[in-house]
Amino acid sequence: MKKIMILGASVYQVPLIRTAKRMGLYTIVSSIPGNYPGFSDADKVCYINTIDKEAILNVCRDEGVDGICTSGTDVAVATIGHVNEAMGLAGISEEAAVKACDKYEMKKAFAAGGVSASKFIKAESLDEAYAAAAEIGYPVVVKCVDSSGSRGINVVDSEEELKEAYEAAVGYSHKSYVLVEEKLNGKEIGVDGMVKDGEVMLIAPHTKYTYKFKGATIPAGHSFPYRNTEKVLAEIDKQVTLAVKALGLNNCAFNSDVFVDGENVYIIEMGGRAGATGIPELISIYYGFDFYEKMIENALGKMDDLGISDQRTSCMSKLLMSPVDGTITSIDEEAIDRIRARGYDIVLDYKVGQTVEQMHNGTTRIGHLIASTDDERIVNGVMDEIYAAICADGTPMRELWKK
Ligand SMILES: Nc1ncnc2c1ncn2[C@@H]1O[C@H](COP(=O)(O)OP(=O)(O)O)[C@@H](O)[C@H]1O
Ligand SMILES: [Mg+2]
């Protein structure tokens, strides 16, 4: 029986864990202890922080795993690279993982690889950040280099706002420096895909929906297909392929944030793992193959082709968020099941009695909706129905959202 190590046990890794089990793999899950939904599906659980490279490597060696994988999170990718390198496993290399897990290293690699991306300067102090912003010219984006979910990333319109943004970036970081970037214009999309044996096997651009909250951009959902001219689509393919090569990503899924400004395409960032927010589910629906299965096969070094279907099915995901800090006091499960019976995939992360946080970044989701349509009006209508079925502190979230 082949063994796989999956890093993380959150809602984003649950489908990966279940898929590994379904494929007949002995599935080991590592995560910090906590109320994570992935533990109950695993064959074995290790309460180890996924960023603890050496501890994870020790377990992988002891167990003799055949592959290591994650989905939807960047923090574990450096560990995956480390284990792959040390054990000679397929999957992302350590060097590529390091570049993909530090936005400064990533931007340097992009520049060296001729990838179209925003100007950037590394700042090791507040004074250096002021100098960098002055050189680039306001507005700028100040970034924590090693977080995700928009944590520690803020647009800064003027000198007065820089200190707060710098401190936020440092506050979220394990590194001693931050990144100051030129602020790009245009429309942000997502591009996911898969690379195997140096060949980019899938480039999957999708429309991205965001919530704005206190200057931060929070992912809200995605849809397929992404529509644009042949020329722009070809430019997206070109820049994404350049970025994959620049980072040296191989035998892994990738996820990137891309700005499209007229006919110009800029890569904001790229990670060596699949995106969150329902992206693997959408890719599976749109292209007609099981993306989670392919991630695992790729990590095991035994992926053939993807088996993309000739048919395309439009689809959309949306994150459910809480409008307030509060306690879930009721969920009308029957109403939710009636919506599910109409073909909507609904995941709720919290049960009655649990506390939820008001939306403030990509991790404060309370669930998601996946629909086989890319008609946003229909999807928003269904979101409304779901919010009407969930009460926080006695009031339906649908009412709370209107306030
Ligand atoms: N240079 C930039 N110009 C404009 N917006 C940006 C820029 N960099 C980041 N952003 C916005 O901030 C979001 C988060 O930044 P990103 O680098 O993707 O970090 P994270 O790892 O948190 O997703 C992006 O999705 C984008 O909306
Ligand atoms: Mg991003």
**Cα torsion angle, 335, 340, 346, 347, sign:** positive
**Does the CB atom of residue 31 touch ligand 1 within 6 A?**
no
If the chain, 403 residues long, is cut into consecutive pieces of 10 residues, what is the mean pLDDT of each piece? 96 96 98 96 98 97 98 92 97 96 97 98 98 98 90 94 97 95 96 97 96 76 97 98 98 97 98 94 98 97 94 97 96 98 96 94 89 97 98 97 90
| DSSP H or E stretch at residue 252 | strand 252-261
Are 182 and 255 in contact by the 8 Å Cβ rule? The answer is: no
Ligand minimally distant from the alpha carbon of residue 152? 1
> Ligand 1 test: best mutation among 107, 115, 119, 141, most atoms within 8 Å of CB?
141
**Does the CB atom of residue 146 touch ligand 1 within 6 A?**
no
**Does the CB atom of residue 184 touch ligand 1 within 6 A?**
yes
Let me know if 289 is exposed, middle or buried by CB neighbors in 10 A (0-12, 13-18, 19+).
middle
> Ligand 1 test: best mutation among 99, 106, 153, 254, most atoms within 8 Å of CB?
153
Centre of ligand 1 from the C-alpha of residue 150, in Å: 7
Domain at 187-300, CATH class: alpha beta
**Does the CB atom of residue 77 touch ligand 1 within 6 A?**
no
Domain at 3-89, CATH class: alpha beta
Domain segments of the chain as ranges: 3-89, 119-182, 187-300, 315-402
Q: Provide the 8-state DSSP code for 358.
A: B
Centre of ligand 1 from the C-alpha of residue 65, in Å: 35
**Does the CB atom of residue 150 touch ligand 1 within 6 A?**
yes
**Does the CB atom of residue 75 touch ligand 1 within 6 A?**
no
CA–CA distance, 339 with 350 (Å, rounded to integer): 18
Of the candidates 103, 207, 87, 202, the one whose C-alpha atom is nearest the C-alpha of residue 146 is 103
CA–CA distance, 382 with 401 (Å, rounded to integer): 14
**Does the CB atom of residue 361 touch ligand 1 within 6 A?**
no
Q: Strand 153-156 relative to strand 365-371: parallel, antiparallel, unpaired?
A: unpaired
CA–CA distance, 188 with 195 (Å, rounded to integer): 22
Q: How far is CA 35 from CA 11, 40, 251, 385, in A?
A: 11, 10, 31, 27
> For residue 389, is it left (φ>0), alpha (ψ between -120 and 50) or beta?
alpha
Centre of ligand 1 from the C-alpha of residue 388, in Å: 32
Residue 266's DSSP bridge partners are 259
pTM: 0.94
315-402: CATH topology:
Aldehyde Oxidoreductase; domain 3 (3.90.1170)
CATH assignment, 119-182:
3.30.1490.20
Note the pLDDT of residue 47.
98
Note the pLDDT of residue 215.
63
Q: Provide the 8-state DSSP code for 197.
A: T
Helices H, strands E: what count in the chain? 13, 20
Ligand minimally distant from the alpha carbon of residue 149? 1
Buried b (16+ CB within 10 A) or exposed e, 246-280: bbbbbbbbbbbbbbbeeeebbbbbbbbbbbbbbbb
CA–CA distance, 384 with 390 (Å, rounded to integer): 10
